[in-house]
Amino acid sequence: MRGRAFGRRGTGPITIASLVAFLFGPVVLFVSDMHFGRGARSAERTKEAALVECLKAHASDIDHLYLLGDVFDGYIEYRHLVPKGFVRFQGLLARWTDRGIPVTYLLGNHDPWHQDHFSEELGVTLIPDSIEATHFGRRLHLAHGDGLAATDPPRSWVRALLRHPVPVRLYRSLLPADIGLGLARWVSRRLHDPDETDAATPARLRTQAHRLLRHEALDGVVLGHGHEPALDRGPDGVYLNTGNWYERRTFARLDEAGLRLQHWNGTRAQGIESVPP
């Protein structure tokens, strides 16, 4: 299975089968790092509208949508309260799941404190860490990527602490929603994850992805977190990073013709590079 699903790097020859798959076949989409709530209201509305339009452009062909973490910036959900905003995006997710389209949300380091709003109200499957999924015969490892980037003990300890139920429960219990959410967003905006400014993060993610490909029966690894779009092939499979939506408007699609890195230009998706079968 290893190396079967994706061929050599580049666009490769265009065949009738690959063209039909690209134009008419079902697609799986991967998008990450929207960081909704980080910027000014006008910028956030523009960012949300662009994502909604991009997803609507794929609505007739979508087979599965994966949100690969950091969808929100400093997101904390309380028992009876959820952060306001971004209802157009959430409404689209609800409409898709009502149609039977699966939406899977892998939590990131900026939005790990969900409870049940997305699952019960929107029909979205929440995944706290990583998963493996098979589409079009390709077995993929999917994750936000912060766990793979946290290779030194301090970062791995902080990550484990922030995802442990005890400190999360204490935070919600001791701080009312307005204070707790406001504090989380303030910290998130002013003290960005060091991985975002660390030039070594994209290389670290690539190294860890190819390590997974060497040691697991995988065809590909798809991550976010690094904020730099990437698509490359090693001897054991393909590594793809979706980049980030909040600045670059990049995402990925998988169909029968292969795995592709895409950019939304405001009206349509444009290919950046692809790995054909």
What does the mean pLDDT of the chain come to? 86
Cα 19 to the chain's mean position, in Å?
26
**In-domain check, residue 58:** yes
Select the more confidently predicted residue: 27 or 170: 27
The answer to whether residues 171 and 183 touch, using CB atoms and an 8 Å cutoff, is no
Any domain includes 7? no
Which H or E run includes 56?
helix 41-57
**pLDDT tens by residue, 106-164:** 999 989 889 999 999 999 999 999 999 999 999 999 999 998 987 666 666 676 777 77
State how far the alpha carbon of 133 is from the alpha carbons of 64, 93, 104, 218, in Å.
11, 20, 11, 10
Cα separation, 213 vs 3, in Å, equals 9
CA atoms in the 13 A half-sphere facing the CB of 99? 15
pLDDT of residue 15: 58
Domain-embedded: residue 2: no
Is 222 inside a domain boundary? yes
112 closest CA partner among 186, 184, 209: 184
Using the predicted structure, report yes or no on whether residue 168 has a pLDDT greater than 50. Answer: yes
Q: Which residue has 């929207």 as its token pair? A: 34
* Residue whose structure tokens are 């929100």: 72
Q: Can you tell me whether residue 55 is helix, strand or coil?
A: helix
In a domain? residue 179: yes
Is residue 177 a part of any domain in this protein? yes
pLDDT in tens, 48-91: 999 999 999 999 999 999 999 999 998 889 888 899 999 999 99
> Which residue has 């990527």 as its token pair?
145
Q: Answer yes or no: is pLDDT of 208 > 80.
A: yes
Q: Is residue 122 part of a domain?
A: yes
* Domain of residue 241, CATH code: 3.60.21.10
Q: Which stretches does DSSP call E strand in the chain?
A: 27-31, 62-67, 103-106, 125-127, 131-135, 138-142, 220-223, 230-234, 237-241, 250-255, 258-264, 269-275
Q: Classify strands 250-255 and 27-31 as parallel, antiparallel or unpaired.
A: antiparallel
Decide if 107 is inside a domain: yes
pLDDT band at 195 (very low <50, low <70, confident <90, very high): low
What mean pLDDT do residues 236-252 have? 96
Residue 180 pLDDT > 80, yes or no? yes
More confident residue, 100 or 184: 100
Q: What's this model's pTM, rounded to 2 decimal places?
A: 0.86
Helices 87-98 and 41-57: crossing angle in degrees, nearest 10, is 20
pLDDT of residue 9 exceeding 50: no
Number of structural domains (the chain) is 1
State which residues form the domain around 21: 16-272
Rounded to the nearest 5 degrees, what angle is found at the Cα of 144, between the Cα atoms of 104 and 239? 105
Residue 235 confidence (pLDDT) = 87
